[in-house]
Amino acid sequence: MTSTVITSLETIIVDLPTIRPHKLAMHTMQNQTLVVIRVRCSDGVEGIGESTTIGGLSYGNESPESIKTNIDTHLAPLLVGQDAGNINAAMLRLDRAAKGNTFAKSGIESALLDAQGKRLGLPVSELLGGRVRDALQVAWTLASGDTARDIAEAEKMLDIRRHRIFKLKIGAGEVHKDLAHVIAIKHALGDRASVRVDVNQAWDEAVAIRACQVLADNGIDLIEQPISRNNRAGMARLNARSPAPIMADESIECVEDAFNLAREGAASVFALKIAKNGGPRAVLRTAAIAEAAGIGLYGGTMLEGGIGTLASAHAFLTLAKLTWDTELFGPLLLTEDILTQPLVYRDFQLHVPRTPGLGLSLDEERLAFFRRDKTSTAISLA
């Protein structure tokens, strides 16, 4: 029997506007840029993937431009002509030839899974072991920096039953002002919502020791990456002292990082991100390490659009325990979409379809309108 092979791989940079600026400790996003990946196969099946970063190079080692260049120049030529149905072999081939580049690899793996799901008539979640839920509770980030505005936004989300978990991005301002801002919001929402903070590595250990105590005393449920990812010993000391759980995010740049963090007791919760691990299959290896070590799981995001969000969701649906839920709200930040049907958020959850593949289709006209470069750069069989 002749196997189905990958015939072409195309990367498309898409710039989409957001509903508001999104403030992080290291950057303020004014829009979101996606790298859409289209894998076409000899049986006529096409798989769609997405690679998305936050803030260009201010967050990590890859940018939309570097992702596109590295896929077009180095990764795509390794895949064209390869067996489209053997995703494991395809990704191992990339790993042997290219170090890192986890964002680029994640988009490629997502596209290969989407194609294989369509080929077999199965949702991606079933290719990843089988879903144990159909929907995921989703957190919302309050990132305006204005206390009254953030409280009003949270109240609206509760009223329309879209979110009851709220994360606050802090660390860019003075510590006492950040703490007062968070505490005021928690007091306003009370027990109706979970309030968490993400510091994006902005504090040093001495500041974090005191701040984590204050936050815990005022009902904050979770503290994400308060100090530098490079200070794992400090993370372990802080995790042992903080009354509120400490979550590792930037500390996990690959599956091996997850093993070392677990071994050293540097966090009580892991943020799972397919982009930082190299794809949906790879992120489940990090989840397995956490589960073996008794570490809680949280479904993280790189603020992907609908494609990357569904790729993450299909992986998270398979986890036995997702104690800290998810933050797959990226599509809700966008004022425009490139999918024919938007993702479904209702009753505080993202509902994931059981249709083959990722369960989406591209709106070709909108994709053409929002793509940065109007010319095709598909890498294909000669």
Positions marked active-site = 169, 327
97 is written with which tokens?
Answer: 């030839």
* CA gap 213, 256 in Å, rounded: 30
317 close to 132: Cβ distance less than 8 angstroms: yes
Task: Write out the E strands in the chain.
Answer: 6-23, 28-41, 46-52, 135-137, 140-142, 165-169, 194-198, 222-224, 246-248, 269-272, 296-299, 344-346, 349-351, 379-380
Pairing mode of beta strands 344-346, 28-41: unpaired
65 is written with which tokens?
Answer: 């431009």
376 close to 76: Cβ distance less than 8 angstroms: no
Residues 6+ away with beta carbon under 8 Å from 26: 55, 58, 59, 172, 200, 201, 202
284 close to 316: Cβ distance less than 8 angstroms: no
The 3 state secondary structure assigned to 278-299 is CCHHHHHHHHHHHHHHCCEEEE
